[in-house]
């Protein structure tokens, strides 16, 4: 006897999915090429590994870094514009998110009941803010680092030094945030969100159980 397929709810539209995977692609290329600019691959003999010689080529990693930066800047401005235009503020942090995040984490550890959530959990909204601020810091300091190489632009050495320091710190902060983001899927309950960034849909039972406030709004609109 065939089992009925679980009902789905549309969670992530095509625009959100394209932004997400565009960010993944651009950030991945920026981190790989950025570490090559330091240059860490030569320092730790990574270039001696089979197929990794190109990581030590400054011209290749520089071009890769610029291409990744252009893609990231385009996606950031597109993301900001489309969300203001569409008035989609679900991922913006709200008052009480820190306290609510602690309750959710505590519930996952103790296997207790989580507080009712909207489309995004409080911890997801805080992560969105942290990643967003870090990326903006990288974009702004990146512009300054590019500006110092333009002949008709004069930037004080102190500004360049501070920008470079912030850029490097933000890079490693972003790496940590990415690791934390991926580590969140170790928790079984969070894995139900993965299909949302691929197909756009998540299971209705998951939404009904964990995002009850959002689920009620969806049902109200359907009436």
**pLDDT of 173-214, one tens digit each?**
999 999 999 998 888 888 999 999 999 999 999 999 889 999
Q: How far is CA 31 from CA 24, 26, 140, 149, 179, in A?
A: 11, 9, 16, 21, 13
Residue 26 near residue 77, CB atoms below 8 Å: no
pLDDT of 1: 46
Q: Which helix (H) or strand (E) holds 77?
A: helix 58-86
What tens-digit pLDDT sequence spans the chain (223 residues)?
A: 445 677 899 999 999 999 999 999 999 999 999 888 887 888 888 888 888 889 988 899 999 999 999 999 999 999 988 888 878 888 899 999 999 999 888 887 787 788 889 999 999 999 999 999 999 999 999 999 888 877 778 888 899 899 999 999 999 999 999 999 999 888 888 899 999 999 999 999 999 988 999 999 888 887 6
């Amino acid at each position: 006897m065939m089992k009925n397929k679980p009902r789905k709810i549309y969670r992530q539209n095509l625009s959100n999915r394209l932004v997400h995977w565009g960010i993944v692609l651009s950030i991945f290329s920026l981190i790989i090429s950025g570490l090559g600019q330091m240059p860490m691959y030569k320092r730790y003999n990574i270039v001696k590994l089979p197929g990794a010689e190109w990581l030590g080529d400054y011209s290749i990693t520089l071009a890769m870094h610029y291409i990744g930066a252009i893609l990231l800047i385009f996606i950031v401005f597109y993301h900001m514009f489309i969300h203001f235009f569409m008035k989609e503020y679900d991922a913006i942090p709200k008052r009480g998110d820190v306290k609510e995040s602690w309750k959710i984490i505590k519930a996952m550890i103790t296997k207790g009941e989580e507080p009712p959530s909207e489309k995004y959990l409080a911890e997801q909204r805080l992560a969105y803010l942290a990643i967003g601020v870090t990326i903006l810091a990288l974009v702004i300091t990146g512009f300054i680092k590019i500006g110092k190489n333009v002949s008709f632009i004069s930037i004080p050495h102190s500004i360049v030094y501070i920008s470079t320091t912030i850029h490097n710190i933000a890079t490693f902060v972003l790496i940590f945030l990415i690791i934390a983001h991926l580590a969140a899927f170790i928790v079984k309950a969070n894995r139900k969100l993965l299909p949302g960034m691929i197909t756009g849909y998540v299971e209705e039972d998951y939404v009904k159980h964990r995002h009850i406030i959002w689920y009620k709004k969806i049902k109200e609109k359907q009436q």
